Structure formats: C-alpha cells, structure tokens
Amino acid sequence: MPLFRAPPVVDFASPPEIGNVEPSAGTFTSLQANGVVSIPTGASNQSTLRVGTLEFQPYSTNNCWFADNAFYNGGFIRRNSGAAGLFYFQGTEGQFRFAGSDDANTSFSPQIMFKINLTGEMACGVSSSYSTDDFSGFGFYVHGANARCSLGSTGKFSFSGDASGASTDDIAISRNDSGVLEVNSGTAGTFRDLIVRNFRMSAPTSVPATAGATGSEGDIKWNSTHIYVCVATNTWKRVAIATF
C-alpha cells in the first residue's frame, strides 16, 4: 500500500523569515520573522488581499476599503455578476457604500447608505456625498457635537440641544399607551407646544351625544353645527358655529 508523508507543521508563533516575494520587479510582499506580513500601499488598480469574494484595497493613506465583489481601477468595478458593497475608510470617517446587481466587470458609482465621523456625526439613507464631513442628501442625520436626536426602541423620536449628549430629552414625538401621537418632553403626559402655520382636522367619526359622554381632556370634535371640547374626563362643552 502507498505510504503518505504528513505535511510539515508550520509554527506561526515563530515563523521562518522568507524575505521578499518579488514577481517581476519591485517588492510585492514580505513575511518577516516576527510573523508580520507586509504588503505595500498604493494599490491603485487592484486589491492586494482577496479571500473568497471579500477584498481589501489600500489605495493610499486614509483612503482604503474592504469590499464584497468589488475593486477599484479608475472607478469601482464588480468582480463577478451581482451586487457590490464596501466599507470605506476615509480619514476620520467611515462609510458603508452599496450598488445593485449587474454583470461582472461593470463599473458602478456606489451609493452611501451610512456614514459616521470622529465627532459623532452620522447619517443614513441614500446619498452620493463622498466627501468627508459632507452629510447632505441623507434622510436621517445626527449632529454629535451640538445636538442629539434618536429613534428609541419604543418608537419615540427625541431631540435635545444638550451638547454634552446627556440622555434628557428636550422634546419628543411618541405614541402613547392609548395609540395617540404626543409631542412631549420625553415623558408621556408632559406636553410641549406645537406651532404650525396651518392646521387641518379631518372630520370626526362621531360627536358626543351628551355632556357626560366618554372622552379625555383635550379631545376636540366637530360637526356642521357645533365644536365640542372635552375639558375633563368624560366632561364636554360645546359652542355653536354659523356662517359669516
């Protein structure tokens, strides 16, 4: 029967130094005795590291990216057929960029879906604002230095002008336990003023039949003859309306 020789064991804790690997001209990569693999930067037309469909391309200092099915050569190009995406390191900013499906070797201009910088500014949505600190075009934006806004797990959308980033809300828009939309100070029932230029109410489905009909303080209903206001729980008052 044939004899098999076991493959040699490579000790990655103390790997041998193999020096530089040089294809045709210039140093391509090197493995040092301390285990450091050195690949030069300046990869302007091809990725320097590929694992399956994942690629790493260090174009220059503060200008590099990890990509799925994409590389850069004068523009971003799909490696294979399908969608493409990348996480882009750009100085003090990180960006998630994506592009839809197309054929292999087709060029694309990725859309930024999320970006964040060193000061805590962040935005998400769909934008082509590639420049650092340019947050134009996004659907949702947070300024980390001067104000805070958030979407809470309860569906509360809150704002604060507290530059320290404290958790206390100045104002919030939320759904209360009764399914009513509130403008409050961050706590249900602590209401804030709402100022609008024009306000329009849709016609209510019904008006109170008596002054003691079911209602909550602040409810307003109307029909063609009267406006009804609930001034306390289950306590209504009304005023007649007429043409003029």
Reported as a single tens digit per residue, the pLDDT across 42-61 is 677 888 888 889 999 988 88
pLDDT tens digits along 174-202: 777 777 778 887 777 778 887 888 888 88
Residue 82: name the closest of 64, 102, 106, 98 by CA: 102
Min mean pLDDT across 78-87, 101-110, 152-161, 167-176 is at 152-161
Q: What is the mean pLDDT of the chain?
A: 79
Nearest to 217 by CA among 240, 236, 190, 192: 236
Does the reported pTM lie above 0.75?
A: no
User: 164-175, pLDDT tens digit by residue?
Assistant: 444 556 777 777
Q: Which residues pair with 112 in a beta bridge?
A: 97, 127
Lowest mean pLDDT among 106-110, 129-133, 185-189: 185-189
Q: What's the distance, CA 184 to chain centroid? A: 25
CB 163 within 8 A of CB 154: no
Answer whether 94's CB lies under 8 Å from 88's CB.
Answer: yes
Residue 243, C-beta contacts closer than 8 angstroms, at least 6 positions apart: none
Going by pLDDT thresholds of 50, 70 and 90, the confidence category of residue 215 is very high
- What does the alpha-carbon distance between residue 153 and residue 139 come to, in Å, rounded to a whole number? 19
Spatial strand order in the sheet of 107-108: 70-72, 76-78, 107-108
